[in-house]
Amino acid sequence: MPEYYLQICPPGLELTEQVWEVDEHGVARKFGFTGDWTWRVEQFDADFVGSKFHKLKLKAGEYYPRMARPYSTDPGASPGGNPDRTTTFRDARGTSSGHLHAMIERLEHICRVVQPCEENFGTYGHEIRNLLILACTEVEAQCKNIMAVNGIAKTWGTKSYAKLAPAMKLGEFSVTLNWYPWLLPINPFVGWQPGDKSTQSLPWYDAYNQVKHDRETRFPMATLKNALYAVTGCFVMLCAQYGWDFALKDKEGERAFFQLTGAPIWPPEEIYINGDPRPVLYFGNATTEEHPEVC
């Protein structure tokens, strides 16, 4: 099987990033180039002075289902996209988008009554609690389905779901709320990592977990801030799955309720190469996990 390398050219050259396909004999060709020019791998450093060559983890056309990455044609354009165009993929995106817009409408209604500012972030109430629960269950649904199509069919709560944080670099996404420009950008998943404290490390999710199981004593945790972060978390989950096919750019993004203003920096080794789309399971063929968690 061939291996693939991404060539990052030094500043000042007219060349753009290029992908090289290297066979088992070490003979390299420009990927997608139909001519007969070839190089030996050992010639790279001598013939392309200043360029950096990165061995790619995925082969041409391979991608992780429901995980967006930049493409080799523009490796810095994070969050990139996902080459899957199946009916299942489109239907899942459409349904999720509908749920998100329904939650945004609820959030708008609440914010007409309670001004969304730091002074009011501690405000809580039944409508806010309902929105917090709705948004967090949607995040759970997204996590569960992403893991299922990537090789883990059975999951238990955040000990499982938190594995998506490093896989999709969720903590690096930040969102601006254009309709409330006085608010700072929100990073809903910052600090979320797998481990025994996976629920507690996500404050808005921890609040949902508390008020879901014990409303009478934990009701004050159903705050406007937690609901705001939870709905933003839903938006981030969709951006992390579908990339720029979901998130709006430029002027369109500036007019939207949510605007993606920060996205992961992916190392060159992790990006997608254009080609005939072929899914690869991020988690392999695992069907169960070792640490069940009640949540």
Pair 234, 162 in one domain: yes
pLDDT at 291: 34
CB count in 10 Å sphere of residue 85? 9
Query: Of 257, 260, 232, which is closest to residue 246 (Cα–Cα)?
Result: 260
Q: Looking at the 3D structure of the chain, how many domains does it have?
A: 2
Q: Give the per-residue pLDDT at 287.
A: 39
7 lies in the same domain as 112:
no
Please check whether residues 125 and 19 belong to one and the same domain: no
Token readout for 173 is: 């996404």
| 19-46 CB burial, b ≥16 within 10 A, e <16 | bbbbeeeeebbebeeeeeeebebeebee
Residues 8 and 142 in one domain: no
pTM, rounded to two decimals: 0.87
State the Cα–Cα distance between residues 26 and 13, nearest whole angstrom. Answer: 26
Same domain, 223 and 124: yes
Does 71 fall in a domain?
no
- Residue by residue, pLDDT tens for the chain (295 residues) are 788 878 777 765 545 567 877 877 777 777 766 555 566 666 666 556 667 788 889 988 999 999 999 987 787 789 999 999 888 899 999 999 999 999 999 999 999 999 999 999 999 999 999 999 999 999 999 999 999 999 987 766 788 899 999 999 999 999 999 999 999 999 999 999 888 788 888 999 999 999 998 888 999 999 999 999 999 999 999 999 999 999 998 889 899 999 999 999 998 899 998 888 999 999 985 433 433 333 3
Same domain? For 37 and 120 the reply is: no
